[in-house]
Chains A and B, each alone.
Chain A
């Protein structure tokens, strides 16, 4: 059975973006390298999807330096958490509807 994707957040259509949001929803903050290792993503791919989420204002970015190394930390914004929850609810509702 095919399901329409209209009720879903377009920003989470990409799997990696949804994964990023899952990690940030469960943690206060996460830095770029840790995300990269955890999600097994390449630098470029991860950066572009983080940029997309940042554009939606779903995540906030905090750049700093540890010694000379740049350290970029990401955190979910209130708007992002809300969107993430709504997306999960939409997924759960779909399952419930199909059970009927």
Chain B
């Protein structure tokens, strides 16, 4: 066996260990798109809630109007659906380009591990809504999303972990300043996503 053979053998082992345990076809572009959708959604939501009142201040009365609540829920659902569809589509495309299967044991584990904190968070936020504790909903969104990202990061590029930490830090800050939920929400779901997506795109796609 030649020395170069050993090198290539070792690097192919390392490559295989990584490829078999990490799903690397996540697209940076999908992060950017999710961020843009979230920004549009946040602006629309802000307009609906604050147009009549004006100003960026704490109020807990606005959700008492049911039509406002439904409009906000509709916008949120729209942002979620658009982000998911774009994300899935770009990921499939990226996986094809890299010759990786989109649905493999690793992507399955990635999804399962993300689903646990996301479902817990979703139910928790639903309970907050029912109980009328609107003040920390934005904070709970960010914290549980951050936890989901950290759980997922074991099965994909480790950069995802740092996005998770940032989301959790923002979530805790949002809990500290309850009136500014929309500000933190916009930073976390829009600006951080666009930033993260751009970094990923230039780091791995070039």
The interface size bin for chain A is 20 to 34
Tell me whether A22 and B20 are in contact in the complex, defined as CB-CB below 8 angstroms, given that A30-B105, A91-B9, A94-B6 are known contacts. Answer: yes
> Is B19 among interface residues, defined by CB-CB distance under 8 A?
yes
Of residues 1 to 28 in B, which have CB atoms within 8 Å of A's CB atoms? 1-3, 6-7, 9-10, 12-13, 16-21
Are B20 and A30 in contact, CB atoms less than 8 angstroms apart? yes
- In the complex, A5 Cα to B2 Cα: how many Å? 11
Are A27 and B13 in contact, CB atoms less than 8 angstroms apart? no
> Is B101 among interface residues, defined by CB-CB distance under 8 A?
yes
Pick the residue among A1, A5, A34 that contacts B105 (CB under 8 A).
A34
> Is B119 among interface residues, defined by CB-CB distance under 8 A?
no
Residue ID in chain B nearest A38 by CB atoms: B20
For B1, the chain A residues whose CB sits under 8 A away are 2-3, 5, 94
- In the complex, A36 Cα to B6 Cα: how many Å? 24
Pick the residue among B2, B17, B101 that contacts A22 (CB under 8 A).
B17
**Nearest CB of chain B from residue A54's CB, rounded to whole Å:** 19
Q: Chain A, 67-99, contact with B by CB distance < 8 Å: what is the 0/1 string?
A: 000000000000000000000100110110010
- In the complex, A54 Cα to B101 Cα: how many Å? 27
Tell me whether A19 and B16 are in contact in the complex, defined as CB-CB below 8 angstroms, given that A91-B9, A95-B7, A98-B3 are known contacts. Answer: yes
Are B10 and A92 in contact, CB atoms less than 8 angstroms apart? yes
Are A1 and B2 in contact, CB atoms less than 8 angstroms apart? yes
- Ranked 4 nearest A-B pairs via Cβ: A26-B17, A23-B20, A26-B21, A22-B16
List 16 other contacts, CB 8 Å, given A22-B16, A37-B101: A1-B3, A2-B1, A3-B1, A18-B9, A19-B16, A23-B17, A23-B20, A26-B17, A37-B104, A38-B19, A38-B20, A88-B10, A88-B13, A91-B6, A95-B6, A98-B3
Q: List 20 A-B contacts (CB under 8 A).
A: A1-B3, A18-B13, A19-B13, A19-B16, A22-B13, A22-B17, A23-B17, A23-B20, A26-B16, A27-B21, A30-B20, A34-B104, A37-B101, A37-B104, A88-B13, A91-B6, A92-B10, A94-B3, A94-B6, A95-B7
